[in-house]
């Protein structure tokens, strides 16, 4: 019997502040594109981290959940909880949108968990908005076949 592949997701929360601004743009352009999001504000974010792998026959788990909790807390939660995202070096040169926060969280976690094990990060800005990210590049062939391209670009002038 082949080994089972499973996806395990653990949820984390943190609070962080930010504002939207592109340094190369005029104040008028920033205001036109981002509106009220140019003013510093904060969110109570929820981060769902999904890992993929074979179910260990001895433990019955994909990953030791205590280890996953430790890694996510050290790499993401402790770094961003009660922080100004605009001041973090990882957001230098990028607007701290939910999309970019998902990419940054992925990069931090993939370095510790490996891209073969980290399946997805989902960042919830609030109850009405979340972003899924599964690493860079083009969608995998199975995602194209299902019409499941969750990595499409957001409309740059969309208001939240």
Q: How far apart are CA 56 and CA 116, in angstroms?
A: 16
> How many CB atoms neighbour CB 6 within 10 A?
14
Write down all domains in the chain, each with its CATH number in brackets. 5-146 (3.30.479.10)
The pLDDT, as a whole number, for residue 137 is 63
Q: 64-105, pLDDT tens digit by residue?
A: 999 999 999 999 999 999 999 999 999 999 999 999 999 999
Question: What is the separation, in whole angstroms, between the first and last Cα of the chain?
Answer: 48
pLDDT at 1: 59
Coil, strand or helix at 6 = strand
Instruction: Please report the pLDDT score of residue 136 as a whole number.
Output: 80
Question: What tens digit of pLDDT does each residue of 10-67 get?
Answer: 999 999 999 999 999 999 999 999 999 999 999 999 999 999 999 999 999 999 999 9
Return d(Cα 89, Cα 120) in angstroms, integer: 23
Phi, psi of 63, deg, nearest 5: -150, 150
Which pLDDT score, from 0 to 100, does residue 132 have?
98
Tokens for 92, please give them.
């230098």
Is the model's pLDDT at 147 over the cut of 90? no
Instruction: Please check the confidence at residue 142 and state whether its pLDDT lies above 50.
Output: no
Give 4's pLDDT tier (boundaries 50, 70, 90).
confident
């Amino acid at each position: 019997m082949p080994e089972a592949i499973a996806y395990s997701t653990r949820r984390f929360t943190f609070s962080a502040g930010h504002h939207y601004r592109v340094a190369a743009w005029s104040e008028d352009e920033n205001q036109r594109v981002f509106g009220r999001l140019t003013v510093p504000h904060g969110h109570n974010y929820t981060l769902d981290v999904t890992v993929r792998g074979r179910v260990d026959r001895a433990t019955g788990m994909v990953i030791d959940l205590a280890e996953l909790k430790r890694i996510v807390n050290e790499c993401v939660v402790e770094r961003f909880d009660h922080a100004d995202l605009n001041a973090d070096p990882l957001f230098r040169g990028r607007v701290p949108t939910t999309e970019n926060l998902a990419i940054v969280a992925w990069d931090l976690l993939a370095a510790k968990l490996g891209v073969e094990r980290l399946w997805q990060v989902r960042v919830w800005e609030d109850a009405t908005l979340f972003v899924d990210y599964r690493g860079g590049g083009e969608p995998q062939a199975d995602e194209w076949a299902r019409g499941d391209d969750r990595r499409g670009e957001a409309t740059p002038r969309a208001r939240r």
